[in-house]
């Protein structure tokens, strides 16, 4: 009973984070038919700021913790999961009847990770004496990008039309590499990470305000805009098949389970194992919507926002985090 009360309390606290409430405000405003809207150019600028902060902070963390065995093990697993999880996600989503572009864009969300879900997991794990290593913040940043690159690659290969609609019969290696590695989202995330890695603590200190309070404010405004967009798509969601909506439950269970098994086989401690599983089970709603909006603009945002924000996000906050922590403790013998 004590564990149940603790779980419910943690879930309630997570749901009351400012960023989540700003998303709810945008959603309610849209449902009430308010004229609230975030201009496209403003949304693009905010998304670039968020991705730059995420990449840079991850690089600083990686530099600070060094390349010790614990970090290398967790980072290797995180990168592998992020690269590979969009593949089964894409196959399952295609079977639900989604078109190629929308299936790939949605799969990207489940290959990337949720910053707020990870933050909630850190707090919960610390509260139950199962804290993860500090380097898991760097693993978070490392897992932001690979799934996005995999999804863009899937879309490019599956549609066979390259980045600009040319050469419909095949995609050249050079064109594919350019599309995957040099779209704006990838450049900012990867470039920001390496800048943080190079400048380390000194660079992090100089940009502490930018990556701290400013980041939180930008995140709230960005989620306000996402809430409006999600609310505008709810009418379409009413026509979704239950099997498609169920993907918002199936995909995080798949990701979290695979991470638990791989992390257990690698000998990760309970805290790191739980954090890795939460990352694999989460769906991005910062980097992925921004990146897919730029890289795959024809994808149906209503689908990936409904699944990632409407189903997976609350599921993880309420049930996913405590259940994955319990499973990790059991597997790791903690």
- Domain residues of the chain, as ranges? 38-331
- d(Cα 191, Cα 108) in Å, to the nearest integer? 19
- d(Cα 280, Cα 252) in Å, to the nearest integer? 7
Instruction: Reply yes or no on whether the pLDDT at 334 is more than 70.
Output: no
Percentage of the chain surpassing pLDDT 90?
31
- d(Cα 77, Cα 113) in Å, to the nearest integer? 14
Instruction: Reply yes or no on whether the pLDDT at 176 is more than 80.
Output: no
pLDDT at residue 7, as a whole number: 55
**Count of residues for the chain?**
334
- In order of 16, 210, 235, the CA distances from 325 in angstroms are 21, 32, 36
Instruction: Reply yes or no on whether the pLDDT at 165 is more than 50.
Output: no
As a whole number, mean pLDDT of residues 155-163 equals 72
CB 61 within 8 A of CB 262: no
Higher local confidence (pLDDT), 229 or 325: 325
In the predicted model, what is the mean pLDDT of the chain? Answer: 84
Instruction: Reply yes or no on whether the pLDDT at 3 is more than 60.
Output: no
- d(Cα 277, Cα 40) in Å, to the nearest integer? 34
As a whole number, mean pLDDT of residues 36-53 equals 86
Scanning the structure block, which residue is given the tokens 């890695």?
197
CB 275 within 8 A of CB 121: yes
- d(Cα 248, Cα 308) in Å, to the nearest integer? 7
Instruction: Reply yes or no on whether the pLDDT at 294 is more than 90.
Output: no
Helix (H) or strand (E) holding 57: helix 40-65
Percentage of the chain surpassing pLDDT 70?
86
Instruction: Reply yes or no on whether the pLDDT at 195 is more than 60.
Output: yes
> For residue 296, what are its two tokens?
């795959």
As a whole number, mean pLDDT of residues 294-319 equals 85
Higher local confidence (pLDDT), 168 or 103: 103
CB 213 within 8 A of CB 289: no
pLDDT at residue 227, as a whole number: 80
CB 74 within 8 A of CB 141: no
Exposed/middle/buried for residue 5 (C-beta within 10 Å: 0-12, 13-18, 19+): exposed
As a whole number, mean pLDDT of residues 191-220 equals 88
Of the spans 56-60, 159-163, 285-289, which averages the highest pLDDT? Answer: 56-60
pLDDT at residue 168, as a whole number: 44
> For residue 292, what are its two tokens?
């897919």
pLDDT at residue 96, as a whole number: 93
Instruction: Reply yes or no on whether the pLDDT at 271 is more than 90.
Output: yes
As a whole number, mean pLDDT of residues 58-83 equals 87
Lowest mean pLDDT across 53-57, 80-84, 165-169, 293-297: 165-169
Q: What are phi and psi of 176, to 5 degrees?
A: -65, -45
Instruction: Reply yes or no on whether the pLDDT at 4 is more than 80.
Output: no
38-331 fold: Na+/H+ antiporter like fold (1.20.1530)
Scanning the structure block, which residue is given the tokens 């390496």?
194
pLDDT at residue 9, as a whole number: 65
As a whole number, mean pLDDT of residues 123-136 equals 82
């Amino acid at each position: 009973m004590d564990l149940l009360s603790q779980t419910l309390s943690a879930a309630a606290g997570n749901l009351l984070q400012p960023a989540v409430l700003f998303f709810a405000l945008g959603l309610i405003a849209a449902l009430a038919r308010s004229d609230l809207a975030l201009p496209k150019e403003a949304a693009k600028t905010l998304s670039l700021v968020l991705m730059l902060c995420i990449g840079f902070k991850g690089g600083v963390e990686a530099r600070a913790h060094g390349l010790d065995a614990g970090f290398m093990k967790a980072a290797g697993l995180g990168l592998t999961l992020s690269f590979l999880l969009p593949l089964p996600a894409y196959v399952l989503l295609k079977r639900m009847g989604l078109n190629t572009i929308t299936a790939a864009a949605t799969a990207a969300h489940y290959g990337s990770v949720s910053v707020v879900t990870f933050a909630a997991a850190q707090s919960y794990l610390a509260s139950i004496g199962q804290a993860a290593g500090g380097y898991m913040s760097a693993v978070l940043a490392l897992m932001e990008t690979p799934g996005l690159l995999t999804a863009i690659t899937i879309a490019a290969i599956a549609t066979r039309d390259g980045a600009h609609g040319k050469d419909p019969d095949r995609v050249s290696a050079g064109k594919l590499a350019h599309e995957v590695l040099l779209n704006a989202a990838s450049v900012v995330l990867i470039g920001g990470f390496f800048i943080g890695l190079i400048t380390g603590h000194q660079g992090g200190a100089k940009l502490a305000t930018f990556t701290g309070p400013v980041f939180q404010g930008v995140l709230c405004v960005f989620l306000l805009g996402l809430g409006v967009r999600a609310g505008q798509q709810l009418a379409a969601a009413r026509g979704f098949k239950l099997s498609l909506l169920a993907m918002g439950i199936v995909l995080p269970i798949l990701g979290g389970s695979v991470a638990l098994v791989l992390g257990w086989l690698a000998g990760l401690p309970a805290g790191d194992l739980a954090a890795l599983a939460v990352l694999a089970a989460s769906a991005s709603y910062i980097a992925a919507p921004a990146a897919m909006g730029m890289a795959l603009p024809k994808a149906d945002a209503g689908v990936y926002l409904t699944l990632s924000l409407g189903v997976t996000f609350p599921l993880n906050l309420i049930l996913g985090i405590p259940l994955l922590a319990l499973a990790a403790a059991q597997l790791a013998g903690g």
